[in-house]
Every structure is written in C-alpha cells, then in structure tokens.
Amino acid sequence: MTENNREWKEALKSKEAFNDYISNYFKEHKELTGSYDIPSYYEHYTVRLDSHDGLVITLVTGVQSTGGESNVPLPFKQKEVMSIEDFRQLILHKKFADTTQSLADVFQTVAGIPSSDDQSND
C-alpha cells in the first residue's frame, strides 16, 4: 500500500481528519478526473472542491460514434454536490475493503464507473 493510500485510509477514521485530507488534496490538485471508454460508450468524471458547495462531481456519459453515424445522441452531463462528510460516510458504508484503492479509485467507484479490470472482451 502506498503512503497516499495509507494516509487517506487513516483520515477516514475521523470527520476532521478526512475534511483536512480532502481540503489539502484539492489545494494541491485543482481537480480529479477519470474516465471509462469502450468502443461504443464513454463516461468521464471530474471532481473538484468548492468552498461553498463541497465536493462537486460532474459526470459526462455518451455513445461513441461508430463509422458514418450522424444521429449519435449528445452527451449527458450530470452534476452532483455533496459535503465532504457525506462523501466520507458514503465511502464508509460502501466498505471499500481493498486497501490498495487510491482516492481516484474510490471516486470512480462512487461515480459508478467500472474499472478497466471490469471490462469484458465481448
């Protein structure tokens, strides 16, 4: 387990420590991004910290254009706002047991985006 993983796992144990950890993370990183792409479908998410709203998670999903398709639907953009404590509680209740998961992995799971390990080769 890396030092960063150990730090955020330790921070989960207290509301104040987790708030400090997330605040410090977003001082160093303006935003956290991730994506899931397969030939026919994509999901992209961005997480940022807003001093008034808390964590702002933006998820964009859409269908990839294949060949000469001209009627591809526009991407769907969804925005969710949650407090740092609500996010901590969500993590605790989802019981992320894999101690090797990073904060980015957890955001990806919370956003409902499958990991690249979950992709099948149909």
Average pLDDT, the chain: 77
* Residue 65 identity: S
pLDDT given for residue 5 in this prediction? 66
pLDDT given for residue 122 in this prediction? 39
Helix and strand totals (H; E) in the chain: 4, 4
| The two three-digit tokens of residue 46, written as one number | 């961005």
* Cβ(12)–Cβ(88) below 8 Å: yes
> Which is nearest to 112 in space by CA: 41, 50, 64, 49?
41
* Cβ(58)–Cβ(84) below 8 Å: no
pLDDT given for residue 25 in this prediction? 87
Q: What is the pLDDT along the chain (122 residues), one digit of tens a residue?
A: 456 667 877 888 899 999 998 999 899 888 988 888 887 888 888 899 998 889 998 888 888 776 665 676 778 888 889 899 988 887 787 755 555 666 667 766 665 666 655 444 33
- How far apart are the C-alpha atoms of 6 and 9, rounded to whole Å? 5
pLDDT tens digits along 89-113 = 877 877 555 556 666 677 666 656 6
CA torsion through residues 104, 59, 91, 81, sign: positive
